[in-house]
Amino acid sequence: MGSESEPFTVVLLRHGESEWNNDNRFCGWVDVGLSPLGQEEATIAAEAIAASGIQINMVYTSLLKRANITMEKIIQVANLNLTRNNVIRDWRLNERHYGALTGLNKADCVQKFGAEQVQTWRRSYNVPPAPMEDNHPYYKVITNQPAFSGSITAAQIPRTESLADLINRTIPFWKSEVEPNILAGRTVLVVAHGTSLRGIVKHIENISDEAICKIDLPNGIPFVYQLDKNLKPIGARKFLADPDTVRKAVAKVANIVPGPK
C-alpha cells in the first residue's frame, strides 16, 4: 500500500473480447461471457499485471460476467491476496446501455442506417440510440439477469444511454467510492467496459467532450496511471503491452465493419 506522500497507482482494464465482441454485436447490458480469444486476453493481461510488479490491493468491476471473468483471471494468475471486502462489484461500472440497438450486428446496422449514423450512436458524446421498449427481445433478458438481483432494481436499469448519460452514473461512483480508497494509499484495479472506462479516462485526464469521442480502448490490455495528491495524472497513461500490440488492438475495436476472419 502506498502513502499520501507517494504517487498513487490506478490500473484500468477493459475485459477480454466477449462473445458478442466476436460476433460484432451491440452488447451493452446483456450478460454474455468471454470468447476463447477473450479468455486468452484475460490471461495475458493478468500476466502483464503480475510482471509489472504493481501490488494491487483493491479491485472494482461491474455486475457483468465478461468483466467479472476477466477480473477473476487477474486475481488467480497474478496471485492477488484480496479479501471479499476488497473486491467491489457495482452496476454503475456496467457498460453503456445501447437501447434498441442491443443485439444487432454493427455491420448490418451500417448497411441499414449508414456508417455515419452508426458511428454517431457509438462515439458521439450526447446522442443515445432509441430506447429499449418492453417488447424488445432482450428487455426481459436484461431485467431478469441473476447478476442484477439484489443489486439494482428494474426501475434503475436504463432504457438507453449516451456517453454523457453513462458518465452521470459512473463518475459520481468513482468520486464517492473509488477516489477515497486511492487517497488512502490503496492501489486500485478497475476491470470494466469500453465506454464506462472512457468516462473514467475522460475524468482522470480532463479530456474534452469532443476529444473523448475519438478515443478507443482495447480489449484485454491493462493501462496504468500515476496520480498526484490531487488525483491528476503524472505523465501519460501507460499500456502494459508493446506499442504495436496496442495499436492493432485499438484498430480492431474501432472497426465496425471487420474484414474476413
80, amino acid identity: L
Q: Under 8 Å CB-to-CB from 142, ≥6 apart: which residues? A: 29, 30, 31, 102, 132, 148, 157
Mean pLDDT of the chain: 93
**What is the chain's length?**
261
Cβ atoms of 246 and 218 closer than 8 Å: yes
Q: Which three cell numbers stand for residue 260?
A: 474476413
Active site residue 95: yes
Catalytic residue among 15, 41, 97, 179: 15
Q: 1 with 56: CB under 8 angstroms?
A: no
Task: Please report, rounded to a whole number, the percentage of residues in the chain having pLDDT higher than 70.
Answer: 95
Active site residue 15: yes
Residues 6+ apart with CB under 8 A from 126: 162, 163, 164, 209
Say if residue 41's pLDDT is above 50.
yes
The whole-model pTM stands at 0.94
Report helix, strand and coil shares of the chain as percent, to nearest 5. 45, 10, 40
Taking only the tens place, the pLDDT of each residue in 232-251 is 999 999 999 999 999 999 99
Among residues 17, 41, 95, 179, the one annotated as catalytic is 95
| H or E element in which residue 239 lies | strand 238-239
Is pLDDT above 80 for 5?
Answer: no
